[in-house]
Amino acid sequence: MPKYILTAIGALLAALTGCKGTPREVPVGELAFPVVVIYGETSAQLSPDADDLGRMRVERYMSLPERLLVIDASARVYEMSEIEAQRGAAWMMMHPTGTMPIALKLRAHGAGGLDEARGLVLSCRSLGHETDVDVIAGIRARIRAAAEMAEIIRALGGEP
């Protein structure tokens, strides 16, 4: 059988089975800031710029959840992976509550868009740095009613 027919059959099978290959790595510079960082189902936190996204508290690094997502200001969703501390274990033991630089990789995750972003943020138990239950309920209501990603970002940042 000619090689081009085998290639065409392979491409057809890949298309029918949904094989899309590995999503491309996205440089941090392509993100629209500020971004929302989602730590598993635990919390959604704002990160205002690339420098902040490239830093992490030691205690957060020591207990990374399986799923870390980043939602940019355009409501594009990325998976954060291959997170590596840029400090050694001795430094981390001496600064257990410190903040250190990290290396990370970002890959597209899901279709993105406002509805996916809203659902991911609302799946978190903690929103922003807020601890008051009534305030959190208000933030959740604002996120549910948001017509654009900027409104979700403002709600998480405590802005009116």
In a domain, 130, yes or no: yes
In a domain, 18, yes or no: no
Alpha carbons 87 and 26: distance in angstroms, whole number:
24
Average pLDDT over residues 16-43: 84
The domain total for the chain is 1
Say if 81 falls within a structural domain.
yes
The residue range of the domain holding 47 is 23-156
Q: What is the number of other CB atoms lying within 10 angstroms of the CB of residue 123?
A: 12
Q: Quick check: is 53 in a domain?
A: yes
Q: What is the largest CA-CA distance in the chain?
A: 68
Provide the pLDDT for residue 15: 52
- Between 23 and 70, the more confident residue is 70
Is residue 12 included in any domain, yes or no?
Answer: no
DSSP letters spanning the chain: --HHHHHHHHHHHHHHHT---SPPB--GGGS-SSEEEEETTTEEEEE-SHHHHTEEEHHHHHT--S-EEEE-TT--EEEEEEEEESS-HHHHHH-TT-EEEEEEEEEE-SS-SHHHHHHHHHT-SEETT---HHHHHHHHHHHHH-SSHHHHHHHHTT--
Sign of the alpha-carbon torsion through 49, 129, 112, 150: negative
Q: For CA atoms 78, 82, 88, 89, give the dihedral sign.
A: positive
Give me the mean pLDDT over the 96-108 stretch: 95
User: Can you give the pLDDT at residue 48?
Assistant: 96
Q: Is the sign of the CA dihedral 76, 105, 81, 107 positive or negative?
A: positive
Residue 158's pLDDT is what?
A: 77
Enter the tokens of residue 13.
């099978």
- Amino acid code (one letter) for 148: E
What's the rounded mean pLDDT across residues 128-146?
A: 93
> Could you report the per-residue pLDDT of 43-80, keeping only the tens digit for each?
999 999 999 999 999 999 999 998 999 999 999 999 99
Spatial separation of the C-alpha atoms in residues 28 and 48, rounded to whole Å:
12
Per-residue pLDDT band at 6 (split at 50, 70, 90): very low
The answer to pTM > 0.85 is: no
The winner for highest mean pLDDT among 4-8, 47-51, 124-128 is: 47-51
Kindly state whether residue 71 falls inside one of the protein's structural domains: yes
Q: Kindly state whether residue 54 falls inside one of the protein's structural domains.
A: yes
